[in-house]
Copies of this chain bind each other. A is one copy, B any other.
Amino acid sequence: MQKETLRIETFSDGVFCIAVTLLSLEIGVEVKNVATNTDLLHALISKWPICLAYVISFVNVLLAWIGHHSLFKQLHKTNNFIMMTNGVLLMLVALVPFPTKTLGLFLQTGALKTAVIFYTAYFVLISLAFRLLWHAATRRRDLLIQSITDAQINLTTKNENIGLICNSIILATAFINPWIALALSFAMWVYWIGFA
């Protein structure tokens, strides 16, 4: 059964990897209205919102990938419930380019707040999918690797809960001030990178 887990991990890795690389497809300068070197410079500089959205999403998906690994490292075998919740998670990850380009396109417009709420709500959904996947994994003790201790299980549960709560707080903040929400999202990385 270990082999089956490996297969799902490889497939999941592929989805994370492609999702993260596809993000770049949205970024480009259009040739019309650009005639001189100065025009192109301005056109490139005006792309900063989509580049910022790209960087934020790249880091978020990369952190989600790391989280996915540390979760699956604790799994010994899978069942249909895990397959399904993992499928939902992958479906959300594969669609990250959608909220990312929405954020990038509307960061400098009057629709900024809706864009940030949509973006942050999307990552609350991803946190929920992670939490559900871990719930599916811990429901039956024989799905986990034998060497795992209750303390380790509780630590992961705690981390998943903290991730979900943090993302929810960021979403709530987005309703008040979108820029603070993006700043909090940035601050959360520092936390994760420090503790991962």
Contact = CB atoms under 8 A, between A and B. Distances in A.
A44 B102 contact: yes
A65 B91 CA distance: 14
A181 interface: no
A58 B4 CA distance: 20
A87 B114 contact: no
Nearest to A196: B80
Copies of this subunit = 4
A12 to B, nearest CB: 9
Contacts of A37: 110-114
B20 A21 contact: no
Contact of A94 (B58, B65, B194): B58
A54 interface: yes
A114 B18 contact: no
A110 B35 contact: yes
Interface string A74-86: 0000001001100
Interface string A94-114: 111110011001100111111
| Contact size range, A | 35 or more
A97 B80 CA distance: 26
A36 B111 contact: yes
A35 B111 contact: yes
Given A15-B17, A18-B17, A106-B34, A25 B111 contact: no
A162 B37 CA distance: 30
26 contacts: A7-B13, A11-B17, A11-B65, A14-B17, A15-B20, A19-B24, A20-B90, A21-B94, A24-B94, A24-B97, A25-B97, A28-B97, A29-B101, A31-B105, A36-B111, A37-B111, A37-B113, A40-B102, A40-B111, A44-B114, A54-B91, A54-B95, A58-B87, A59-B87, A62-B87, A80-B196
